[in-house]
Amino acid sequence: MKIALLVLQIIVSAALIIVILMQASGSGIGTAFGGSESVYRSKRGVEKLFVYLTVFLAVIFFILSVIQVLI
């Protein structure tokens, strides 16, 4: 059981890294401090999908981490 959780966590973390790297390069943390006006526009299409997928994978990774600590 513990090995299966570990393998699943590795897969989720690899997917999370890939999704983060595939996001637009201009939407990083630097734009939050006045780097661009893209902060004020709404996200559309693939960009919106990547944001939702990033949040989903991060939540799954967190849940798997907590479960693994509790076991």
pTM of the model: 0.73
State the CB neighbour count (10 A cutoff) for residue 57: 19
Given a cut of 90, whether residue 7 has pLDDT beyond it is yes
Boundaries of domain holding 17: 2-70
* pLDDT per residue as tens digits for the range 24-53: 776 555 555 555 555 556 778 888 999 999
* pLDDT per residue as tens digits for the range 45-67: 888 999 999 999 999 999 999 99
8, 15 contact by CB (below 8 A):
no
12, 61 contact by CB (below 8 A):
yes
Look at residue 27 in the predicted model and tell me its pLDDT: 55
**Number of structural domains found in the chain:** 1
